[in-house]
Amino acid sequence: LLRRIAGIIKERELTQTRAGELMNMDQPRVSALLRGKITKFSTDRLLRALSDLGQDVELRISPARQGKGRLHVAA
């Protein structure tokens, strides 16, 4: 999630200040995000940031085919 957010910011050539405005974060938080400080952000906050950047986010839960389930993230 963090890598995708960073990729969008880079693709759009957004400053940290402008990215923060779009994601409702201050510039130091955007800086922490871009430096990979993952422990400072909840999954929910990263999902909202993607949405704020104009991304559709889909979370799907389904029964595992056998035994233990798996986690798959695609961007």
Name the amino acid, one letter, at 35.
R
Higher-scoring residue by pLDDT: 53, 59: 53
CATH number of the domain that residue 5 is part of: 1.10.260.40
Residue 39 tokens, joined: 């422990």
Tens-place pLDDT, residues 15-38 = 999 999 999 999 999 999 999 999
CB 40, CB 29: distance < 8 Å:
yes
- Domain of 23, in residue numbers: 1-75
Give how many domains the chain has, as a whole number.
1
User: Backbone dihedral region of 68: left (phi > 0), alpha (psi from -120 to 50 degrees) or beta?
Assistant: beta
Tens-place pLDDT, residues 35-52 = 999 999 999 999 999 999
Is residue 72 predicted with pLDDT exceeding 80?
no
For residue 18, count other CB atoms closer than 10 A to its CB: 14
Is residue 71 predicted with pLDDT exceeding 80?
no
Whole-number pLDDT of residue 60: 82
Residue 36 tokens, joined: 């990979």
Name the amino acid, one letter, at 67.
G
